[in-house]
Amino acid sequence: MTVSDLFIPDRTAALERLQQFLPHAGRDYAARRNYDTGPGAPAGVSMLSPWLRCRLITEEEVVRAVLGRHSHAAAEKFVQEVFWRTYWKGWLELRPGVWNQYQAAVGAHWDAVQTQAGLRARWEAACRGETGISCFDFWARELAETGWLHNHARMWFASIWIFTLELPWELGADFFLRHLLDGDPASNTLGWRWVAGIQTPGKTYLARTSNISKYTEGRFHPKWQLAGVARAIEAPAPPAAGLLPAPAAPRPGLRTGFVLHEDDLSPGFMLDGPDSIRPQAAALLIPQTRLGPLQSAPHVAAFRRAALRDAAARWQDRMGGPPAEAESTEALLDWAARENLEQIIAPYAPVGPVAGTLAGISAQKDAPALVQIMRPTDRAAWPLATRGFFPFSKHIPALIEQMI
Specify the pLDDT at position 2.
61
3-state class (DSSP) for residue 48: coil
Amino acid at 46: S
For residue 210, what pLDDT is reported? 97
Coil, strand, or helix at residue 190?
helix
What domains does the chain contain, in order, with CATH numbers?
A: 3-93+382-403 (1.25.40.80), 99-215 (1.10.579.10), 256-373 (3.40.50.620)
For residues 321, 327, 330 and 335, what is the CA-based torsion angle, rounded to 10 degrees? -10
What pLDDT does residue 4 have?
60
Q: Which helix (H) or strand (E) holds 396?
A: helix 396-403
Element (H, E) at 104: helix 97-115
Residues found in the chain: 404
DSSP code for 256: E
Digit-coded pLDDT (tens) for 189-246? 999 999 999 999 889 999 999 999 999 999 999 999 999 999 889 888 888 999 999 9
Dist CA 184 CA 304 (whole Å): 12
Spatial distance between the Cα atoms of 18 and 46, rounded to a whole number of angstroms = 7
Sheet strands side by side (includes 343-347): 324-326, 281-285, 256-260, 343-347, 369-373
Dist. CA 380–CA 281, nearest whole Å = 30
At residue 237, the pLDDT reads: 83
CA–CA dist 343, 24 (Å, integer): 45
Q: What is the C-alpha to C-alpha distance for residues 204 and 222, in angstroms, rounded to an integer?
A: 20
Report which residue type is found at 311: A
Query: What is the rounded CA–CA span in Å between residue 99 and residue 92?
Result: 7
The Cα–Cα gap between 86 and 381 comes to 7
CB neighbours of 263 closer than 8 A, spacing ≥ 6? 54, 55, 347, 349, 350, 352, 354, 355
**What backbone torsions phi and psi does residue 347 show, to the nearest 5 degrees?**
-60, 145
State the Cα–Cα distance between residues 45 and 28, nearest whole angstrom: 9
Answer yes or no: are the C-beta atoms of 328 and 357 closer than 8 Å.
Answer: yes
Instruction: Classify residue 389 as exposed, middle or buried by CB count within 10 Å of its CB (0-12, 13-18, 19+).
Output: middle
Phi-psi group of 171: left, alpha or beta (phi > 0 → left; psi -120 to 50 → alpha; rest → beta): alpha
Angle, CA 195 vertex, CA 192 and CA 201 arms, to 5°: 105
pTM (predicted TM-score): 0.97
pLDDT tens for 42-67 read 679 999 999 999 999 999 999 999 99
How many other β-carbons are positioned within 10 Å of the β-carbon of residue 338? 11
For residue 1, what pLDDT is reported? 54
Phi, psi at 231, each rounded to 5°: -70, 150
Class of residue 61 by CB neighbours under 10 A (exposed 0-12, middle 13-18, buried 19+): middle
- Residue pLDDT tens, the chain, 404 long: 565 678 999 999 999 999 999 999 999 999 999 999 988 776 799 999 999 999 999 999 999 999 999 999 999 999 999 999 999 999 999 999 999 999 999 999 999 999 999 999 999 999 999 999 999 999 999 999 999 999 999 999 999 999 999 999 999 999 999 999 999 999 999 999 999 999 998 899 999 999 999 999 999 999 999 999 998 898 888 889 999 999 989 999 999 999 999 999 999 999 997 778 999 999 999 998 777 889 999 999 999 999 999 999 999 999 998 999 999 999 999 999 999 999 999 999 999 999 999 999 999 999 999 999 999 999 999 999 999 999 999 999 999 998 88
